[in-house]
Structures are given as structure tokens and as C-alpha cells.
Amino acid sequence: MRELEQRYPNQLAVVGVHSGKYIAERVTSRIRDASIRLGAIHPVVNDRQFRLWRAYAVRAWPTLVAVDPRGAVVGMRAGEFTADALAPFFDRLIDDARRAGTLDAGSAVHFPADAPSAAPSTLCFPGKIALDDRRIAIADSGNHRVLVGMLDDSGTRLRVDRRIGAAGGGYRDGADPAFVSPQGLAFRGDLLYVADAGSHTVRELTLSTGVTRTIAGIGRQLRTAADEARGALSSPWDLALAGDTLYVAMAGIHQLWTIALPSGGAEVSSGSGAEELHDGLHAEAALAQPMGLCAADDLLYVADAESSAVRVADRDPAGGVRTVVGTGLFDFGDVDGEGDAVRLQHLQGIAQSSDGRLLVCDSYNDALKWVDPASRRVERWVGDLHEPAGLAIGERAVYVADTNAHRIAVIDRTSRAVRTLLIE
């Protein structure tokens, strides 16, 4: 829709209708923050009771409904689509309206964006974090940049050594790189790998020089067979490094991918591409918008957002994918406990502690929770956050990208005291 808005700035008026699946997605302030974070330039209706959904007989997400200047519905399409596929339809619709004299020849009405629920400061909607002893990297997603620096002895203050990225964002490699909503990060010596979600690429950043290169992706989203043949990716959201293999949570196409280092060859490792919670061998298993990833021994643990589940994938190509907790795409809530009784809500981040337990960002419940993969027991650790999306576990503290609060929260592992990381 963004591409269509850009093609027809004075002929096409877009109104988003948000019929939220999750309880948290029906809260207007959260929808506002998400719209600002995603750079939406059109008004959005909170259809929390699904009245518009039913009025237009919608049966699937996404669905596009075209309304002519007289207010008549002239087209309806469900499913994924490209701007190129829809452009001929809009060209005909605009020509018909011009001939009928019903198209306003003036500029289209534009609405200024609302203010977010909390004002950004140094950070703007931070997404993910990577920690390497006292060295830390932050995906300052809303500012389209990555911050890298050193923590002080207390672990509560960061001295930033590098700010990488251009104001306004973009896709550019070299000594003056640009990113678009970067997310997952992974250190490897003097290298930092970045899942640049908005440009649909995985980038390699040399920290000593600041030079960046693309190791996977072409700068546009995987939509067609031609895109796939050229090596396109779709919303790479998190990274995990294991030896010479970089694992990618490919949220846009519900799969896990691998990138062989240093060559950069990318391929699917798990997931059929269907959006579902289905266990099985790698090729037949189904994931649902994986957004968090961590490697542990011969396993990968996955925060599978749309199934509100914790999944585990074998790194062995002969293995498969299993579910730790979570039961389906529409089974969610805020229930601690064991096994299939557990309910989470759109978790986005995951990390493993030295005792083998997993700490997850239960994002739409604004909480961090411990998950024991052996007993399948889940218990709340810290609440009252603001849609946490990424975390890293240090020796004394846990660092959390508290996205909608525009901060990195520092949580003492013993006392659970929460403070905000001071950034110099």
C-alpha cells in the first residue's frame, strides 16, 4: 500500500482498517504507536469489534476494498499482492473517474501523524540488542541506525563509540551506510551482522571501519518468483550465530534461513512457508512469523510471534521443529503454568540463561517470562514494560529493548529492579 500511495499521491486516499486479532492489538494507543513505528501516512480505524470487517464481508487478512469517488465498492481482493499487479486496476478506475467528472483535481487530503504514547529521546522504538561481554549493540529501529559501544563497570551506562545509519533511513552499503528499521544483531569479532528488516537484507558491518556490505537480500521484499531467483528476502527479523552459520528468523515468509559465512549463501533451513503451528521435519514444519531467535548447543529456540509459541528447531538438517509451549494461531492470553495450559501473547524476543532456561519477551503482555524447555513450565519474571521486543542476558543484568518506551531497560538479575540505560 505504501508503494501505491507513492504512485498515486493525489488520486488515491488510503484508510487502514485494523481489526485486531490480539487483545492488545485492539488498544488504540498501541495501534497508534505501531502506525508511527511503521511510518504509516494514512489514517487508521480501530475496528476492535469487527464491525467494518463484517460490513464489508471480509473473510481474510489482508483484504483490499476499492471504493470509487461516489462511495460505491468497485473491487475487493484478499491475500498478498504487489503494487504492479494492482496498478492497471487503479489506472482504469482513475481514468473512469476523470471522464465522469467525479475525481477531485486538487491535492489529496493528508493527515499529520499523531504523537506516540511516549516521546522518543535518544532512542526511537528500539528493536533488538546484542551483548558481547561489555560491548553492546542496539538496533535503534525508529531512527534507522545501529548504536555500538561499551558499558561501564556498573552495566547501567553506555558510551556510544559508533552510530551507524543515515537520518530518514535507506538502503546503502559502504563507508556511509543506511538502514531501514534494523532489527536483529549478532557480534562476530570485529564484525556485526544486522537484520535490516525494512530493506529486507542481512548486512555485515566492520566495526573498526564502519564499512557495511550486504551478504543476503537485494534491497526489496521477496514477492514473486523473479524476486526469489534474484535472492530476495522477506522481513529478516532476528539473527543467531553458531560457528560459521548465521541463522535468520525470516518473519515475512514464516521460515528460518541459514547464511554460510563468510561467503553469504542464503537458503531455507526450516519451514514450509505456511503460516501455522505444525511440528515435523524441517521441510514440512510450519512457523508463524518468527521474530526472535537464539542458538544453544545443537538447537535453535524461536519466539514464534503469531502462534504465541516457543518453538525449537534442530540445527541438524536431518532433524525438525517442535513446540515447547503454545497450541495454535488463535490460542493466546496471559496464563503461566505448564505445557498446553500456558498462554502467551505475540512474543518477539528470546535468550537462554546459563541454567538452560529461556527468557522471552511476552510482548503484548508487556512482560518477560521464564520458560523451562525441559518441564515446559512458564512463569512471569518482570512486568509493566511497554511491548518489549528484544533482550540480552548479561552476567548481572538483563538488557531489554522496551520498544514503546523508547529505552533500553536494565533489569538486575537478583533484585529484579528496573532502570533505564543511560546513553552517552
Q: Residue 42: pLDDT band by 50, 70, 90 thresholds?
A: confident
AA letter at 187: F
DSSP strands (E only) in 87-243: 129-132, 135-140, 145-151, 157-164, 182-188, 191-196, 201-206, 212-216, 236-242
Mean pLDDT of the chain: 94
Q: How far is the CA of 45 from the CAs of 52, 108, 109, 159, 319, in angstroms? A: 9, 19, 16, 41, 44
Q: Please give the pLDDT value at position 36.
A: 86
Given the C-alpha cell 471480509, which residue does it identify?
Answer: 58
Nearest to 384 by CA among 404, 399, 413, 359: 404
pLDDT digits (tens, 9 = 90+) for 194-249: 999 999 999 999 999 999 999 999 999 998 889 999 999 999 999 999 999 999 99
Positive or negative torsion for Cα 86, 92, 97, 103: positive
Question: How is residue 10 written as a grid cell?
Answer: 493525489
φ and ψ at residue 422, rounded to 5 degrees: -85, 130
End-to-end CA distance of the chain: give it in Å, rounded: 38
- How many Cβ atoms sit within 10 Å of the Cβ of residue 15? 12
Look up residue 80 and give its DSSP letter. -
Which range has the worst mean pLDDT, 100-114, 161-175, 340-354? 100-114
Which range has the worst mean pLDDT, 156-160, 166-170, 260-264, 394-398? 260-264
Rounded percentage of the chain residues whose pLDDT exceeds 90? 78
* H helical segments located in 279-413: none
> Is the predicted pLDDT of residue 105 greater than 80, yes or no?
no
The DSSP-derived string for 346-374 is: ---EEEE-TTS-EEEEEGGGTEEEEEETT
Q: Residue 108: pLDDT band by 50, 70, 90 thresholds?
A: low
C-beta of residue 375 within 8 angstroms of C-beta of residue 90 = no
Rounded Cα distance between 53 and 64, Å, is 11
Q: Residue 320: pLDDT band by 50, 70, 90 thresholds?
A: very high
Residue, of 105 and 355, whose pLDDT is higher: 355
Rounded Cα distance between 155 and 151, Å, is 5
Rounded Cα distance between 137 and 130, Å, is 5
Rounded Cα distance between 359 and 400, Å, is 11
pLDDT digits (tens, 9 = 90+) for 231-243: 999 999 999 999 9
Nearest to 349 by CA among 63, 154, 101, 141: 141
Rounded Cα distance between 126 and 37, Å, is 10
Rounded Cα distance between 342 and 20, Å, is 21
| Domain annotation for the chain: domains and CATH numbers | 2-100 (3.40.30.10), 129-423 (2.120.10.30)
> Is the predicted pLDDT of residue 113 greater than 80, yes or no?
no
Positive or negative torsion for Cα 136, 140, 144, 150: negative
Look up residue 116 and give its DSSP letter. P
What average pLDDT does range 144-160 have in this prediction?
97
